[in-house]
Structure 1
Amino acid sequence: MKLLNQTLKKIGTLNKESMKKTRQRIDNLIKPLGSLGKIEDIAVKLAGITGNTFPTVDNKVVIVMSADHGVYEEGVAPDPQILTAIQTPNFAKGVTGVCAFAKQARADVIVVDIGVATDINDPRVINRKIRYGTSNMAKGPAMTREEAIKSLEIGIEITASQIKEGKNLIGTGEMGISNTTSSTAIFSAIGKLDPIEIVGIGAGLPVEKLSHKANVIKKAIEINQPNPKDGIDVLAKVGGFEIGGMAGVFLGAAAHKVPVVVDGFISTAAALIAITIEPKVKDFLIPSHHTAEKGGQVAYKLVGLEPMFDMGLRLGEGSGAALAFNFIEAATYMLKEMITYKEAGIIL
């Protein structure tokens, strides 16, 4: 709890002066006013986050949190739970979807076992296992409050270590069979929504089973009564270890004034947990893509962010965050490589 409290105290606000100077330069670049749309907004936000009018994001990493969920036993996912354990080492091997996109974006990928249901015997996987998966939230809390805080602090610690190594742009990713169930529960609890309104197919659940998945989520919320104003309580009651880990990444990055990218549906649930714990975090988050999950639009409304692109993605892993790295870095190139009308000797 000490590390979490210290981190929360460090989270401030955006540097308005840097944002003002960056906006002034952008508005005077040799192009029609506003013609680069969201790229311009990203550049201004980067200036606010870093306090640098010419920010750099050339050392990138996607932090993938991997864990299992006890609610799997309720039949809410189409795939065997062992896939979490099978896929987790593949991130370290560099052969997953996010790894492919990260290579293109010149970004690293690290993977953390924060609660996979079996042991992962690969030294390249960072072992921070809290325990072997969460408990079944349809029967009681997914984890204790202490475990929820531990998941947040693991995310904070991993983020700090990456920043210490020089990382200046961070993306969030995850792996965990049944984690769309926990994510939907988080949105339902904090947004006070009926799960049936936002529940989706996740990794391919048959449509005819959606009502069952919604009912399981509804039951979990009724049994556990998570406090929608207490992000840690929601995480403990209906969340997942990897969701807590990602929420910790958001908190840690904000505390260090390093831009951090929100991926898809599960990552957005983690962002909502982080924002519920400390609302100032939102200003440090850069949303990537619209998710094809049914509740995607509702999810982004709850966190108060607008995604930068829509390509029908619903893989997760951090794949959308890795793709977004290209747009974000492009914004810094716009600032550094384009000249202003004055620098071009043009007077209008």
Structure 2
Amino acid sequence: MPSFERHSFRFAKASLIFILSFILDADLLAVYDLVPLRSLEYSDSKIIRVREEVKYNLQVSVSNLEKKNLVPLRFLSYKVGKQDTFFKIMARTGMDLDTLSSVNQLASPQDIYPGMELLIPNMRGVYDSEETSSDDSNRRKVASRFHISPKFLYYDDQRKSWFVPGRGLPKEEKNFFYGLVFSNPLAEEGRVSSRYGKRKDPFTKKDTFHGGIDLAAEEGTPVYASADGVVSFSGSKGGYGSLIVLKHPLGYETKYGHLSKLLVPPGTKVKKGQLIGEVGMTGRATGFHLHFEVLRNSLRQRPVFHGHV
């Protein structure tokens, strides 16, 4: 057999095995089964496979090839290691920024930490946050908005939203992810006295998780809205003391605690940079400071704004 024929035969055989693996492998049939990913090495068989599936699915979904089917959506579960970064994980798995952040509901690349469980899908894409039910009408709406064939969409029963293969985040959501939406709530005043993450509790001296950042400043220092939003709470709440909570688009919230003055009532629409309160030490506090939190879908996120990452 001539050399070029041998190569063609080998290529055809390899392609057939690759395609049959989609059909015969049982874990592909279960959309939400989590397959553990232990390594990010390019030689790892699961990395090889997921990168091939990502490549194939991207070609089909981006080209909107009606006559072809996607490899069924499945997720791998990867535990973040000490040397891992968001961008390393993204590159090794064939993902992109939009997919990793949307699937894992991350607010910034700094949100990952050692031991965190990340979901890695076998296709690029994003979750749609507008349509939350699984009926055909919503399927058509999502397909029309993203300019994609309805048959490519997956409805996620756990998240109550649609996964859209081959599409990216809207500009607004990317702005949140890159820290372009929130500003320093004390403007240029104050200093970071306690960061987000593990720390020793100033009262109990035990290791605890600090769900925001503390910005030390003099009593009465103006506190400004970190982004456009609506006041959902303005009053006293446990250890937060006098607290203001603002709701923002895409499931985001910001909290401003230990205030000495509350200057906006619930229901008020506020603009980024608008005065909403003053620094104090109400509630559980050891000194004058602002406790500032960012949450998305009720989960605390690392606060990211210009000048603070």
Q: Which band: TM-score by shorter chain? A: under 0.3
Report which of the two has the higher share of helix: 1
Bigger RCO of structures 1 and 2 (CA < 8 A, at least 6 apart):
1
**TM-score normalised by structure 1 residue count:** 0.22
Report which of the two has the higher share of strand: 2
**TM-score normalised by structure 2 residue count:** 0.24
Larger radius of gyration: 2
